[in-house]
Chain A
Amino acid sequence: MSDYLKDPQIHREIIMDHYQHPRNHHLSDDKTYHKAHMASESCIDDLTVMMKIDKGLISDVCFDGVGCTISTASTSILTDLIKGKTLEEAKSIINSYYAMIDLKELNEDLLQEAVAFQNVGKQANRIKCATIGFKAIEQMIKEEETHD
């Protein structure tokens, strides 16, 4: 873990970058993709996340919709993080992200750029935004596992 990821200035730049140029920002017509539509009760964020799973491996993941900086950037970073990973790996990334949001522990190796959100947990009203994409992936993994 490089030191530069500890700098709040860098955190802000990572989020700006992913908000203004979100990665994997499109949806797929492929019917074999899992799909999760997430609309938070605050009636504002409205994201759809899609994921293709091949033999336990996440071969593609993408998202689109309307979201604030925090929900868009966190979902964008997440798609980067889990693409090409196994379901087990993705689950440990998600759990470790939740532990960070709960202000419990910070696993920089697993979370990479997602460490930019290490203090979001201090703003209770933004936690929903910062976890919306993670909830979507979690939901789709569960769906895959119960179907097997």
Chain B
Amino acid sequence: MLNVKEIRKDFPMCVKQDAGNGKVYLDNAATTFKPYSVIEAVTRYYTDESVNIHRGDYDLSYQVSDEYEQTRKTVARFLNCEEREVIFTSGASASLNLFAYGWAQKFLKKGDVILSSEAEHASNILPLMKAAELTGATIEYIPLTEEGELTIEAFKGAMHDKVKLVSIAHISNVLGFVHPIKELTKITHEYGAIISVDGAQSVPHIKTDVKDWDIDFLSFSAHKMLGPTGVGVLFGKYALLDQMDAFMLGGGNNARFDICGNIQLKNPPFKFEAGTPAIEAVLGLKAAILYLEKVGMDEIEAYEHELKTYAVSQLKDLKNVILYNPHAGTGIITFNVEGIFAQDTAIYLNSKGLMVRAGNHCAKILVEVIKTSETVRASVSFYNTKEEVDRLVDALRTITLEQCIDLSIM
């Protein structure tokens, strides 16, 4: 069992809330708060070791380069992969674009099929649409259940010999279902295809094991898992990374080049890391992973699901609230209030100190599945409490359209 009261003391944003600023943060799927250990790792770089990596012949550069590579080691342990399979990017979007450019655009051909789902985030599906346009491949969508879940049966039905790439989110950012990645991967490989997993919402909330699942690629961001903004990871199986093209060329990614244009690139992962990275953010990512490991990913998953189940049990009793994903197994609660537009609901909740997100959550084609274009999303993290969920439920119990309008016109 987590000691949430103690955990909250590690997060300055929570400390301010507990000191009475009246705010409740329920937009953790967008980004999370950072613990002091992460903030200290970032500032330590600027105050004590503010030099470049992989360049200098002086001790300090050597030391920071080593710490930078220690993060790679930590990520590899966290994902259960090899260090050389961990590429640092600027975030999940950059990872997904790197994969689409370096692998999909290079290896897909006319007539090939990319299999994906209608619940994908724009950062996953748009780069694939571009790859399809450039290669002549087509995208097909696995039909989802009415609640928006992707089942093994539907996947089997959608799979066929022309599919060369399967690309899906492990956890949908709109509906929060955990998709059966290990089984999907097994089927994908039986057809000789590869699978790229958008882990932006899963890596922060459930235990990841790329070796056990046997997935080929995984993308995620540090800022959604207590880490700094500006850094993310693309994991890829080494043999695939070796064939894949780099998206950027430049300092740090080449071994040698000459004036005739002969370029020899370094091996993965360095081949993909041209230019000076967000060094402080990478160092912060290590601190974030150490924090998550200390709390325990299994404990985090269990507690967040418990909070979500509690929220659903309370919200179910409210006649004015429509819940879209009561059965999803993670901490994402997607809903609307009858007769009130999602954005108006979010603005009302804001007036009560509650931070949630309204919109289509960058998954614009999901409209066809859940039959509503705009929803409100409350997403919990393990530092949220039942009392905070109660604040949300109480606010929704008394919301009226009149109050929402008054907030805008008074």
Contacts and interface: CB of A to CB of B under 8 A. Distances in A.
21 contacts: A8-B406, A8-B409, A8-B410, A11-B409, A12-B402, A12-B406, A16-B405, A42-B343, A42-B359, A44-B360, A45-B343, A70-B409, A72-B341, A119-B410, A120-B408, A120-B409, A123-B407, A123-B408, A126-B347, A129-B343, A130-B408
Contact of B374 (A66, A117, A118, A125): A66
Interface of B: 339-344, 347, 358-360, 362, 373-374, 401-402, 404-410
Contacts of A43: 359-360, 362
Contacts of A119: 409-410
A122 B342 CA distance: 21
A44 B409 contact: no
Nearest to A45: B343
Nearest to B343: A68
Interface in A1-33: 8, 11-12, 15-16, 19-20
Contacts of B341: 67-69, 72
A116 interface: yes
B342 A12 contact: no
Given A8-B410, A44-B343, A119-B409, A66 B373 contact: yes
A103 B75 CA distance: 54
Nearest to B339: A20
B344 A44 contact: no
| Residue of B342, B404, B408 most packed against chain A (CB within 10 A) | B408
A69 B359 contact: no
Contacts of B373: 46, 66
B358 A44 contact: yes
Given A8-B409, A129-B343, 11 more contacts: A12-B405, A12-B406, A12-B409, A16-B405, A19-B401, A44-B343, A44-B359, A44-B360, A66-B374, A116-B409, A119-B409
| Residue of A11, A12, A122 most packed against chain B (CB within 10 A) | A12
Contact of A69 (B358, B360, B374, B401): B401
Secondary structure class of chain A's binding surface, majority of residues = helix
B404 A69 contact: yes
Contacts of B360: 43-44
Contact of B405 (A15, A45, A46, A67): A15
A72 B339 CA distance: 13
A123 B347 CA distance: 11
Nearest to B404: A69
B359 A117 contact: no
A45 to B, nearest CB: 8
Contacts of A70: 344, 405, 408-409
Interface in A41-97: 42-46, 66-70, 72
A11 B410 CA distance: 9
B344 to A, nearest CB: 5
Contacts of B374: 44, 66
Contacts of A116: 409
A67 B340 CA distance: 11
A15 B404 CA distance: 11
A69 B344 contact: yes
Nearest to B362: A43
A84 B358 CA distance: 37
Contacts of B406: 8, 12
| Residue of B344, B373, B402, B409 most packed against chain A (CB within 10 A) | B409
A43 B362 CA distance: 8
Contacts of A67: 341
Given A8-B410, A44-B374, A119-B410, A69 B405 contact: yes
A113 to B, nearest CB: 13
A68 B339 CA distance: 11
B4 to A, nearest CB: 32
A72 B373 CA distance: 15
Contacts of B358: 44
Contacts of A11: 409
Nearest to B372: A66
Contacts of B359: 42-44
B217 to A, nearest CB: 27
A11 to B, nearest CB: 6
Task: List 7 A-B pairs, minimum CB-CB distance, nearest first.
Answer: A68-B341, A68-B343, A126-B408, A44-B359, A15-B405, A66-B373, A12-B405
A82 B402 CA distance: 27
Contacts of B347: 125-126
A55 to B, nearest CB: 37
A59 B339 CA distance: 32
A42 B373 CA distance: 14
A72 B408 CA distance: 13
A36 to B, nearest CB: 19
